[in-house]
Amino acid sequence: MERWINKIAVVTGASAGIGAAIVKDLVDADVQVVGLARRKERLEELKASLPIERQSLLNVIECDVTNLESVNKAFDEIIDKFGGVDILVNNAGVSKVGQLVSLDIPDVEKIMQTNVMGVVYCTQRAFKSMKERNVNGHVIMINSICGHKVIGIPGELQGSNMYSASKYAVTAMTEVYRQEFQGLGTKITITSISPGFVDTEMIKDVWKKALGDRILQPRDISNAVLYTLSTPPHVQIHEMIIKPVGEFF
């Protein structure tokens, strides 16, 4: 991780769960982190929870990744203050309970706008910054096993609805970006990290009860992020699938 010390990492969906764990570990690795989230007050609480000597390494910006104007405003602020972006972690994501045949259309649109278009908005801005400065940056997608297999929810009718479709899109986008990064003459790397069920606010209590100890913790995914970043610049970890031991799927 030495080559990333004092570099700029942008983490979306940074206020809780996997995003918050990634922020903490990057700060511990002496990376300058910019946390983006809609709930700025949660970001401020996260910053206050850090050791006092490390709080200056976390900068918080309110940002709704579903809104292009909000994303552009956030990245303009980042570039004005820090000069550019070296690492982007596309972590923001949402899911909704229900079946695709009957799910409210605004909920379907929210999933796609967050999980797909939010990635596009942020990646375009981060890539532009990396390419203009000719840096060997790294883009990380927090994907899902649902981006590789349509799965049912324990004890319920199939309910991954548009969430799985959006994560399949992320899987495809990862390869599209890899080819484009190479074709455009950069050495920017990209990694898709696909966890199984993770103990976050996104998982309902009834599901957690059904899963028991067959569930990952946010820190498990953060450890994977640090591992991918710690590899040499010539190494491309394209896809990493992480499951808890004994997972159903």
Length of the chain: 249
Residue 61 main-chain phi, psi, to 5 deg: -135, 130
CA distances 181 to 97, 175, 177, 197, Å, are 35, 10, 6, 30
What six digits make up the tokens of 149?
A: 């297999």
Q: How far apart are CA 191 and CA 180, in angstroms?
A: 14
Instruction: Decide if 163 is catalytic.
Output: yes
- What is the helix (H) or strand (E) element at residue 32, kind and residue range? strand 32-37
CA distances 171 to 29, 145, 151, 221, 244, Å, are 28, 10, 16, 17, 20
Q: In the chain, count H helices and then E strands.
A: 8, 7
What six digits make up the tokens of 158?
A: 């199939």
Q: Between helices 118-132 and 161-183, what is the axis angle to 10°? A: 20
Which residue numbers are catalytic?
A: 163
